[in-house]
C-alpha cells in the first residue's frame, strides 16, 4: 500500500489485513446514506464487522447493496504526501493545490481549515530539521517512515495515543527488515532530540514502538491516487494509474483496513478530491455477504498474484478465482 518491501496498492488501490478479534466490533467511520428529508444525522452504513471463518475479522453487508452504490466513506487516521508531490498537494488532506493555497513553512494547504487541522502534527514537526530523515526516505524509496514521523508528532503534541494503530494487524518482519529500520529510527529520534523535545514527551519513542508501528503501516497503508475526472473516468482509465508516480501520498484508515482480500472483489476504494476514501460496490451484494476488496492489481495472472500476496501481505490467497486457477 512500496517501502520496506515495495508493494504498493495497485490498480484496485486497496489494502487490508486479517485479525483475530471479537465477533462484533465498532469502529469510527463516516458514511453517506443520508435521508435528505431530515436534517438529522445520516443513517449508519449498511455494514457490520464480524469474525469470518478463515480470515479473522471482515466486513459484511446488513442489507442488499446495488452495484455502484457508495457503501461508506472513511477519513484517514494518518496521511502524508509523497516526497515527489509535497509541493503540489495539500500537506494535510492531499488535495491537489490551486493558486489559492494557504502556505506553511515550505509546504502548503488547500484551505485554512486544513491548515488548522494540521496543527495536531505540524507545530511539533516544524520545530525540527528533517532534511536527513527525508533524504533517507527519498534515497531508499521509503514512504512508510514518513507516516511514522507524522504519528510521532501527533503523540508528542498530545493529539494521538502512542497505541493508535494497535487495532491494526502488523506484518511479520524479518531480521533483515528490522536491521534496515534502525537507521530510520535513529534519524527520527535524533531529529526530535535536536529540536529539544523533552525525554518525557519522547518516552514512547522506543525502537520497539517504531518497529511495531512501521510493521502495521506496512500492510495497512493505502496508496492514494486521486481521480482526475468523474468516477466513470476513473474506472475506464484505472489500468493506466498503477505506477508509483501516480500516487499523491499514502494514508492509513481503520474500517477500510478490516476489508479482506479477494482477487475477484465485490467492492473497491476510490479517492476523488483528497484522502477521504469512498468504498463502492462493484456488483450487487446480498445481505450478510462479506464485502471484499483487492489488495493488488487484479489483472495479474494467478502465479503473480499469489507471489505478491504471499510476499507483500503474508498469506496464500484461496479465493474462488485462485482456486479455479484463473
Q: Above 60 in pLDDT, residue 162?
A: yes
To the nearest whole percent, how much of the chain has pLDDT over 90? 67
User: Mean pLDDT score of the chain, rounded to an integer?
Assistant: 84
One domain, residues 205 and 241: no
Does 63 share its domain with 92? no
Q: Using the 3D structure, point to which of 182, 203, 220 is the last residue of a domain.
A: 220
From 220, 247, 262, the end of a domain falls on: 220
Per the structure, how many domains does the chain have? 2
Angle at 231 between CA 279 and CA 287, to 5 degrees: 35
Q: Does some domain include residue 11? A: no
Q: What does the pLDDT read at residue 228?
A: 54
Who wins on pLDDT, 55 or 48? 48
- What pLDDT is recorded for position 262? 96
The answer to whether 95 touches 273, Cβ cutoff 8 Å, is: yes
Q: Tell me whether residue 124 is in a domain.
A: yes
Report residue 326's pLDDT band, with 50, 70 and 90 as the boundaries: very high
> Do 268 and 13 contact (CB within 8 A), yes or no?
yes
Residue 31, pLDDT above cutoff 70: no
Clarify whether residues 98 and 146 are in a common domain: yes
- The alpha-carbon radius of gyration of the chain (Å, integer) is 20
- Residue 238: per-residue pLDDT: 42
pLDDT confidence of residue 114: 95
CA distances to 4, 84, 260, 312 from 304, in Å: 19, 28, 19, 12
Task: Name the residue among 184, 237, 190 with its Cα closest to residue 211.
Answer: 184
Last residue of a domain, one of 220, 245, 260: 220
**What was the pLDDT predicted at 39?**
53
Q: Is residue 284 part of a domain?
A: yes
Largest Cα–Cα distance of the chain, in whole Å? 59
Residue 161 belongs to a domain: yes
Is 7 within a domain?
no
Helix 175-194 × helix 131-140 angle, to 10° = 160
Q: Do 120 and 213 share a domain, yes or no?
A: yes
What's residue 172's pLDDT? 79
Local confidence band at 175 (pLDDT 50, 70, 90 cut-offs)? confident
Helix (H) / strand (E) containing 59 = strand 57-61
| Domain hosting residue 48, numbered range | 24-75+222-323
- pLDDT tens-digit readout, 228-253: 544 454 444 444 333 334 689 999 99
- 262, 5 contact by CB (below 8 A): no
d(CA 28, CA 65): 21
Give the lowest-confidence range in 35-49, 180-194, 239-253.
Answer: 239-253
Whether the pLDDT of residue 4 is over 90: the answer is no
Q: 170 or 188: which carries more pLDDT confidence?
A: 188
How confident is the model at residue 67, as a pLDDT?
97
Decide: 299 and 100 in contact? Cβ < 8 Å.
no
- pLDDT at residue 300 in the model: 94
**What pLDDT sits at residue 43?**
82
Q: Pick the more confident residue, 315 or 155.
A: 155
Residue 166 grid cell: 494497535
- pTM of this structure: 0.81
Asked whether residue 18 is assigned to any structural domain, the reply reads: no
The answer to whether residues 111 and 172 belong to one domain is yes
What's the average model confidence in pLDDT over 68-76?
A: 97
- 252 grid coordinates: 492509513
- Closest among 259, 281, 269 to 227, alpha carbons compared: 269
The CA–CA distances, whole Å, from 190 to 102, 131, 308 equal: 30, 12, 35
Would you say residue 231 lies in a domain?
A: yes
Q: Are 248 and 96 in contact (CB under 8 A)?
A: yes
Coil, helix or strand at residue 278: strand
Among candidate residues 90, 89, 84, the one with its CA nearest the CA of residue 118: 90
CATH number at residue 316: 2.170.270.10
pLDDT, tens only, 100-151: 677 777 899 999 999 999 999 999 999 999 999 999 999 999 999 999 999 9
* pLDDT for 77 beyond 60: yes
Look up residue 118 and give its three cell numbers. 494540521
Residues 6+ apart with CB under 8 A from 231: 270, 272, 280
CA 182 to chain CA centroid, nearest Å: 23
Distance CA 130, CA 125 (A): 8
* C-alpha closest to that of 78 among 120, 133, 127: 120
Residue 103 neighbours by CB under 8 Å, 6+ apart = 109
Residue 96 β-bridge partners: 89
Check residue 10 and give its pLDDT.
35
Least confident range from 36-45, 143-152, 263-272, 301-310: namely 36-45
Amino acid at each position: 500500500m512500496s517501502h520496506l518491501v515495495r508493494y504498493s496498492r495497485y490498480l484496485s488501490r486497496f489494502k487490508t489485513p486479517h485479525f483475530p478479534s471479537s465477533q462484533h466490533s465498532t469502529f469510527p467511520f463516516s458514511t453517506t446514506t443520508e435521508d435528505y428529508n431530515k436534517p438529522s444525522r445520516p443513517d449508519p452504513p449498511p455494514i457490520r464487522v464480524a469474525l469470518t471463518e478463515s480470515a479473522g475479522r471482515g466486513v459484511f453487508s446488513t442489507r442488499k447493496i446495488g452495484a455502484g452504490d457508495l457503501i461508506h466513506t472513511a477519513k484517514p487516521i494518518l496521511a502524508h504526501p509523497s516526497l515527489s508531490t509535497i509541493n503540489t498537494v495539500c500537506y494535510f488532506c492531499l488535495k491537489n493545490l490551486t493558486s489559492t493555497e494557504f502556505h506553511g513553512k515550505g509546504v502548503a494547504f488547500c484551505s485554512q481549515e486544513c491548515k488548522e487541522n494540521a496543527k495536531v502534527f505540524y507545530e511539533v514537526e516544524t520545530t525540527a530539521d528533517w532534511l536527513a530523515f527525508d533524504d533517507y526516505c527519498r534515497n531508499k524509496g521509503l514512504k512508510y517512515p514518513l507516516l511514522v514521523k507524522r504519528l510521532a508528532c501527533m503523540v508528542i503534541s498530545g493529539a494521538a495515543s502512542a497505541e493508535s494503530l494497535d487495532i491494526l494487524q502488523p506484518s511479520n518482519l524479518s531480521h533483515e527488515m528490522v536491521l534496515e529500520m534502525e537507521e530510520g529510527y535513529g534519524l527520527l529520534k535524533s531529529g526530535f532530540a535536536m529540536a529539544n523535545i523533552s525525554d518525557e514527551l519522547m518516552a514512547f519513542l522506543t525502537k520497539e514502538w517504531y518497529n511495531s508501528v512501521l510493521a502495521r503501516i506496512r500492510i495497512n497503508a493505502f496508496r492514494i491516487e486521486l481521480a482526475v475526472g468523474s468516477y466513470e473516468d476513473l474506472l475506464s482509465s484505472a489500468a493506466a494509474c498503477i505506477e508509483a508516480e501516480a500516487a499523491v501520498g499514502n494514508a492509513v484508515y481503520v474500517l477500510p483496513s478490516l476489508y479482506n482480500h479477494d482477487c475477484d472483489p465485490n467492492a473497491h476504494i476510490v479517492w476523488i478530491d483528497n484522502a477521504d476514501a469512498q468504498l463502492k460496490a462493484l456488483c450487487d451484494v446480498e445481505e450478510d455477504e462479506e464485502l471484499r476488496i483487492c489488495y493488488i492489481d487484479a489483472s495479474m495472472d494467478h502465479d503473480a498474484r499469489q507471489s505478491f500476496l504471499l510476499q507483500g501481505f503474508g498469506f496464500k490467497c484461496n479465493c474462488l478465482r485462485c482456486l479455479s486457477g484463473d
